[in-house]
Structure 1
Amino acid sequence: ELEVATDALVDELRDFAPLAQRTAKKLLNDMEDAPLSLAIELEGQCYGRLRSSEDFREGVEAFTAKRKPTFRGS
């Protein structure tokens, strides 16, 4: 049962945009002990950068076209 659940989670994570995953992981690791106000500010900066990425554009286009996105990590 655990293996099936783990495989399902891995499959789900593979479908996410790699650039967004890397950014979120780095932000969480870097801000673990930071004040909340700083963490919120940096999250906003990261989100702004992600919004200008090709992966963001692909995600929006795929959503609009009701298809699965093809993320490239850029």
Structure 2
Amino acid sequence: LMSTAEEFAKEIMGKPPLAIRLAKRLINSSLDLDIRTGLAYEAASIALISTTEDFKEGITAFLEKRKPRFKGV
């Protein structure tokens, strides 16, 4: 179980930090929200994340068929 958890943690560490932080907040807050409010928060979060350098890096890396180098900005 520990090795599976460590593998999962390493995978998450390779993702864009701001997006992970925001996703965690959305997941935690969604328990107390109605669906309409939750979807509105999700849409606002996507709009915010799409303005980051990491978002651009993810798209560029995908198009260039390489691993992204996220910086947390």
Matching residue of 1:24:
23
Q: Structure 1 unaligned runs (5+)?
A: none
Q: TM-score, normalised by structure 1?
A: 0.91
Cα distance in 2 between the residues matched to 1:59 and 1:26:
21
How far residue 27 of structure 1 moved from its aligned partner, in angstroms, is 1.6
Q: Structure 2 unaligned runs (5+)?
A: none
Cα distance in 1 between the residues matched to 2:2 and 2:29:
31
Matching residue of 2:56:
57
RMSD: 1.0
Cα distance in 2 between the residues matched to 1:28 and 1:5:
22
Q: TM-score, normalised by structure 2?
A: 0.92
Cα-to-partner distance string for 1:3-55 (whole Å, 9 max, x where unaligned): 22122111111111101001111122223211100000110011011011100
Aligned pair 1:4/2:20, yes or no? no
- SS at 2:10's partner residue? helix
Paired positions, count: 73
Q: Which runs of 4 or more aligned residues in structure 1 lie more than 6 Å from their structure 2 counterparts after TM superposition?
A: none
Name the aligned partner's letter for residue 34 of structure 1.
Answer: L
